[in-house]
């Protein structure tokens, strides 16, 4: 997680929940101190990735003897129209040129084509010959078999729910590479077979590469929302290797060993190449970003990922791959059964089980309640009911601590020069009045894992993207900005939900803080939260916090009564 996320956890979890109660009850009104910060456990660092100088063929391709005729063919386009996407395949390399989603659009409502460019041949096959020549078929002609057309054609599903397309790249007589693509009508994943015929004695080192040569098109209104979460991965056995290119220089890595799949993703969408029935032997990952010279904001990205497979040096060899180009929908991702869900944003490893439990709860509620805004409200109520006994116990403990404050003050005055006697006297006082000094804070701390697990989930859950609630709240994954105010020195986004959230915090603090010396904090804390977190949280997360604050305030009022 980034710095803003950690800051959000600390301030929200500690100031909002712990600070008011801790100040009012645990410490004497005249001697209140700020609570200590409780830091969540750090996430595990990514495994060390082995770096090598040697890299597979990437972008610059020279024309080689024996295959010059493969470059001279005119590019033709084949369109596959499914229920979920429109795929455009180029005969140049037999690669994916366009992948237009039907279910998801850009934030401005225009079509979302996930393929930003096709520079090095997405799903291109490359290898080295015994002559030392580097061959990248991403620039070679793959002619369709049994399809008669001039420049372009559109294939539609008839009675069958599957389309099978054969593309042939002829190297010379009796030597060719064939791609067999199988698309399903109602599924994002598709199959790609790579068949080598007569290339034994041609491909050196008994290995070849299948590569993806571009980052995904930014889908969000603010490009940095995509770039911040864009990463490249390789699944090496049971360990996920991750390359985060969001730095100043180009980054690359070549992990070796049992390579189950490679993938790259943005905030909500991903591409994955998964060997089917076998494993690769190496992965190559690289990425770079282009930044603004003024504010260092990321303007563009360049990604590359490739997987190396064994070539058996036989007359005929076919390897099959499962390819995913589409949204990071958890049910679909887990259905692949290759651990691809590990690239999804469920936060720190320690809290992922809680994040997944929350996710499945939200999905279950949505199956009965079609509006995700209402689902969040119901979920907030359920969480409050779940923690009601804990919070009630904390309020009772706080009240007991408040009642013995005069006695504690007397003991401090009596034993102020003898800390040991003071501690023993305090323990006897707690025992006599059946008070647990941690009773007010501990139940609240037990709720922290839920809050920590919720933040990344609400921010990365694709079901919230474009989900409308009521009136001005038309996207639960983004702030509910209704206007921008020009303040001269800055532009301020007016987010209505954040204002309601801050107001609920003010009321809650007003009921909690009774010491006149704390009066300034009643006004200062909500103002600080408004300044620091106005544009940080999605409207779905702010909606949850607002409802939870209102319920907490009601519980405090009822407990006092």
Residue 4 in this model has a pLDDT that exceeds 60? no
* Better-scored residue on pLDDT, 486 or 124: 124
> Do 304 and 435 belong to one domain?
no
Digit-coded pLDDT (tens) for 180-193: 999 999 999 999 99
Residue-number span of the structural domain to which 447 is assigned = 364-560
Q: pLDDT-based confidence at 50, cuts 50/70/90?
A: very low
Mean pLDDT of the chain: 81
List pLDDT tens digits, range 393-430: 777 777 777 778 788 888 888 887 788 888 888 888 87
Asked if residue 516 and residue 440 are part of one domain, the reply reads yes
| pTM for the full predicted model | 0.80
Q: Residues 383, 388, 393, 397: is their CA dihedral positive or negative?
A: positive
Residue 252 maps to a domain:
yes
Give yes or no: residues 288 and 385 share one domain: no
Same domain, 400 and 514: yes
Q: Are residues 446 and 483 in the same domain?
A: yes
Overall domain count for the chain: 2
**pLDDT tens-digit profile of 424-461?**
888 888 788 777 776 666 666 777 888 888 888 888 89
Confidence of residue 149 (pLDDT cuts 50, 70, 90): low
32 part of a folded domain = no
**Residues 442 and 506 occupy one common structural domain:** yes
* Domain identity same for 322 and 377: no
Among 19-23, 237-241, 492-496, 552-556, whose mean pLDDT is lowest? 19-23
335 shares its domain with 369: no
Q: Tell me, what's the pLDDT at 518?
A: 66
Buried b (16+ CB within 10 A) or exposed e, 482-518: eeeeeeeeeeeeebbbbbbbbebbbebbeebbeeeeb
| 331 and 402 within one domain | no
Task: Kindly tell me if the per-residue pLDDT of 491 is higher than 80.
Answer: no
User: Same domain for 334 and 392?
Assistant: no
| 64 part of a folded domain | no
Tell me the torsion sign for CA atoms 95, 100, 103, 104. positive
Asked if 382 and 423 sit in the same domain, the reply is yes
Instruction: Report whether 23 contacts 35 (CB < 8 A).
Output: yes
Separation between Cα atoms, residue 549 and residue 379, nearest integer Å: 13
41 part of a folded domain = no
Same domain? For 334 and 385 the reply is no
């Amino acid at each position: 997680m980034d710095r803003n996320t950690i800051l959000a956890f600390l301030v929200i979890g500690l100031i909002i929940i712990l600070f008011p109660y801790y100040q009012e009850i645990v410490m004497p009104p005249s001697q209140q101190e700020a609570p200590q910060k409780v830091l969540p456990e750090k996430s595990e660092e990514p495994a060390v990735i082995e770096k090598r100088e040697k890299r597979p063929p990437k972008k610059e391709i020279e024309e080689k003897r024996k295959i010059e005729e493969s470059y001279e063919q005119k590019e033709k386009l084949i369109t596959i129209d499914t229920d979920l996407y429109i795929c455009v395949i180029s005969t140049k390399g037999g690669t994916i040129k366009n992948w237009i989603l039907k279910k998801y659009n850009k934030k401005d409502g225009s079509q979302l084509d996930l393929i930003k460019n096709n520079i090095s041949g997405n799903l291109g096959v490359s290898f080295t010959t015994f002559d030392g020549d580097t061959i990248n078929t991403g620039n070679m002609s793959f002619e369709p078999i049994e399809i008669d057309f001039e420049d372009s054609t559109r294939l539609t599903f008839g009675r069958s729910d599957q389309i099978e397309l054969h593309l042939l790249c002829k190297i010379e007589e009796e030597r060719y590479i064939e791609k067999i693509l199988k698309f399903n009508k109602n599924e994002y994943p598709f199959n790609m077979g790579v068949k080598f015929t007569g290339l034994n004695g041609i491909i050196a080192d008994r290995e070849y590469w299948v590569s993806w040569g571009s980052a995904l098109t930014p889908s969000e209104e603010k490009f940095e929302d995509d770039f911040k979460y864009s990463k490249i991965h390789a699944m090496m056995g049971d360990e996920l290797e991750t390359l985060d290119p969001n730095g100043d220089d180009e980054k690359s890595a070549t992990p070796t060993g049992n390579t189950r799949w490679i993938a790259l993703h943005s905030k909500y969408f991903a591409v994955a190449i998964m060997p089917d029935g076998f494993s690769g032997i190496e992965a190559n990952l690289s990425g770079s970003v282009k930044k603004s010279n003024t504010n260092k904001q990321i303007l563009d990205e360049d990604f590359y990922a490739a997987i190396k497979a064994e070539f058996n040096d036989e007359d005929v060899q076919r390897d099959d791959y499962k390819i995913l180009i589409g949204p990071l929908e958890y049910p679909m991702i887990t259905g692949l059964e290759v651990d691809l869900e590990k690239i999804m944003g469920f936060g720190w490893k320690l809290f992922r089980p809680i994040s997944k439990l929350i996710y499945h709860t939200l999905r279950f509620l949505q199956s009965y309640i079609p509006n995700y805004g209402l689902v969040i409200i119901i979920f907030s109520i359920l969480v409050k009911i779940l923690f009601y006994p804990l919070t009630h116990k904390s309020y009772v403990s706080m009240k007991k601590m408040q009642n013995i404050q005069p006695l504690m003050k007397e003991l401090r005055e009596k034993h102020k020069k003898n800390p040991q006697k003071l501690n023993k006297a305090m323990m006897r006082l707690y025992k006599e009045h059946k008070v647990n000094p941690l009773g007010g804070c501990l139940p609240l701390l037990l709720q922290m894992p839920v809050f920590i697990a919720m933040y990344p989930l609400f921010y990365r859950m694709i079901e919230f993207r474009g989900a409308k609630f009521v009136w001005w709240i038309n996207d639960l994954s983004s702030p509910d900005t209704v206007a921008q105010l020009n303040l001269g020195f800055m532009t301020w986004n007016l987010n209505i939900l954040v204002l309601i959230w801050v107001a609920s915090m003010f009321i809650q603090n007003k009921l909690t803080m009774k010491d006149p010396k704390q009066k300034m904090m009643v006004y200062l804390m909500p103002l600080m939260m408004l300044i620091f977190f106005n544009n940080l949280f999605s409207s779905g997360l702010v909606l949850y916090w607002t409802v939870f604050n209102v319920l907490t305030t009601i519980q405090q009022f009822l407990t006092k009564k």
